[in-house]
Amino acid sequence: MPDLIAPHGGLKEPVSRTVAAERIASFKSESAKLRQVPVSDADLSTVYRFGDGALSPLTGPMGEAEYHRVLDEAYIERDGKRFAWTIPLALPVNAALAAQITKGEKVALVNARGEVVATLDVSDVYAWDKQKYLRSVYQTERTDHPGADMVLKGDADATHLIGGTIDVLPQPKHPAFGKYVLTPREVRKLLADKGWQRVVAFQTRNPLHRAHEYALVYGLETLIRAGHNAGACLNPLIGETKGDDVQADVRMATYEALITQRSLGEGDSDQALWGPRKESVPDRVILLGLDIKMFYGGPKEAVMHGIYRQNFGFTDIVIGRKHADAPYHDGSNIWGDFDAQEIFAKLGGDLQIKPLKVGFAAFYESIGRVDLTEDHKDEKPVSISGKDVRKSLLEGTQVDPRIMRESTSRILAEAMKQNA
């Protein structure tokens, strides 16, 4: 069965820069002789995604011209055609290392333990204009936000960027959730085996409360109502996130429970749609993790989330309110609630995946379930503060089930108790 959607960049299949099994021994031997370039934990997942094609059509970190084209005009070019790209990707290095690396040199990329993870045929070594990067990606002059912290604090010592063509060793599988992390080629085969015509991806970096769930359910039901044999993928980011985000292994346990215990969408799905089908939401949802870091880049990161998912073979992506959002440190908003939806109408180049837009959702007593707030303009929804949720979890008590599923509440409470 043919793929549902082509990879980004006009390709027929995703890029593959992962070292084949039969070459691993010789690759390690040869790379041991090369100059070593350290890669941060935050950027390590990006290296692996260059390798497996999640960042197609890129074959490695961007050179200087392409990097600045993305900042200035939000596109990359392949065979004379423009393709949307909103956050440039290159590897940071300090000034001392930048002075030593020469164009055309092959270097070894090493992780925090000094282990070689990839080699890079260097095409460019160039100064990192951090302020330009931050202004372009985050669309603000202010730097008191998580995205700026990643650059100005996390990469404080980095003054330059390197680009080139990469070859990457296979990524080790995480013992807790590695079975959910597949390559684009593996996911495309999985989707073909499912036989679905359309598949909507749901991006998250948080444990799901019921309003989150509803956005996924809404996306799936929208495709089914349109007559498609459709499925959905709960597709959380499990790469580098902010320190106050819930750890990936805990989050994955909550997602797994929602599907295996068949509570995902329970009470909030449209029974008039599902009843005659003799199905429920979990029958058409798969769980897959995406190991790549968050940029907390709002609208521009929403586009990147679409690019990643197109490369994995998904045809649609749910874009809700405040997608990939993080406020200024004083709590004020960087972007409008729906800026991440509006950006898809003004892209700098081609993007085939379709944004499936959903508004605010909340639990309403009048109907006894979660629904879109736009359909309840004169009714106050059930609400609970993040502070009260955290208090309940710390006390080991059930978060209001109108807000959060029992399984999610229990798993989070146990994790918080262990970390207390």
> Mean of the per-residue pLDDT values for the chain?
94
pLDDT given for residue 417 in this prediction:
81
User: What percentage of the chain has pLDDT greater than the value 70?
Assistant: 97
Q: Which CATH number fits domain 21-168: 2.30.30.30, 3.40.50.12170, 3.40.50.720, 3.10.400.10?
A: 3.10.400.10
Which CATH superfamily is 178-419 part of?
A: HUPs (3.40.50.620)
> Where along the chain do its domains lie?
21-168, 178-419
pLDDT surpasses 70 at 173: yes
pLDDT tens for 270-305 read: 999 999 999 999 999 999 999 999 999 999 999 999
Exposed, middle or buried by CB within 10 Å (0-12, 13-18, 19+), for 398?
middle
Domains 21-168 and 178-419 share a fold: no
- Model pTM above 0.85: yes
Q: What is the pLDDT of residue 159?
A: 98
| 118 burial type by CB count under 10 A (0-12 exposed, 13-18 middle, 19+ buried) | buried
Smallest CA-to-CA distance from 184 within 206, 201, 159 is with: 201
pLDDT band at 206 (very low <50, low <70, confident <90, very high): confident
* CA-closest candidate to residue 66, choices 126, 15, 6: 126
CB atoms under 10 Å from CB of 114, counted, come to 8
Predicted confidence (pLDDT) per residue in 37-67, tens digit = 999 999 999 999 999 999 999 999 999 999 9
380 burial (CB, 10 Å; 0-12 / 13-18 / 19+) is exposed
Q: In this structure, are strands 316-319 and 75-78 parallel, antiparallel, or unpaired?
A: unpaired
| 318-351 residue pLDDT tens | 999 999 999 999 999 999 999 999 999 999 999 9
Tokens for 191, please give them: 């989707």
Token pair of 74, please? 């939000």
Q: Which residues contact 83 (CB under 8 A, 6 or more apart)?
A: 8, 9, 10, 57, 75, 76, 77, 349, 350, 351
